[in-house]
Amino acid sequence: GAGVSQSPSNKVTEKGKDVELRCDPISGHTALYWYRQSLGQGLEFLIYFQGNSAPDKSGLPSDRFSAERTGGSVSTLTIQRTQQEDSAVYLCASSPGFYTGELFFGEGSRLTVL
C-alpha cells in the first residue's frame, strides 16, 4: 500500500492477556516509530527502529512492552499481561531516513483492555 498500514485497527482484550500489534511501514522507509495516545492525552513516544535495531527504547512504559522489527520492514509491538491503563491508540510511523522529523503515521490500532 501507499501508506503506513497497522493491524488490527481495533482490539478488545481482557486484563492479563497478551496482545500483538503490527505495523507495515512505507516501502523503503528505514526508520520506524511507535507512539501511543491515551484518551484525552497527547502522543507519547515509545520506541524507534533504524533498520532492525532499536537505538531508542526510552519510551517503553514497562518491561511488559516489547517490540521487534524484521527484514527492515514489518514491526510488531507486544504487550504482555495487559492492564487497563494500557488502553490507548497505538500509532506507528515511518520515515525515509534517520535525519528527518517528517514522519508518516498510520491510522493506529485502538486497544481496549477490559
Partner 1 sequence: DAKTTQPTSMDCAEGRAANLPCNHSTISGNEYVYWYRQIHSQGPQYIIHGLKNNETNEMASLIITEDRKSSTLILPHATLRDTAVYYCIVRSATDSWGKLQFGAGTQVVVTP
Choice from 25, 48, 86, 111 touching partner 1 (CB under 8 A): 48
- CA-to-CA dists, residue 43 to 37, 40, 80, 98, 100, angstroms: 5, 10, 21, 20, 18
C-alpha dihedral sign at 71, 72, 77, 80: positive
Q: How far is the CB of 88 from partner 1 (least distance, A)?
A: 13
104 lines the binding site for partner 1 (CB under 8 A): yes
Task: Tell which positions 62-91 bind partner 1, by CB under 8 A.
Answer: 91
How many other CB atoms sit within 10 Å of the CB of residue 99? 7
List of residues contacting partner 1 (CB under 8 A) = 4, 31, 33, 42-45, 48, 55-56, 59, 91, 93, 95, 98-108
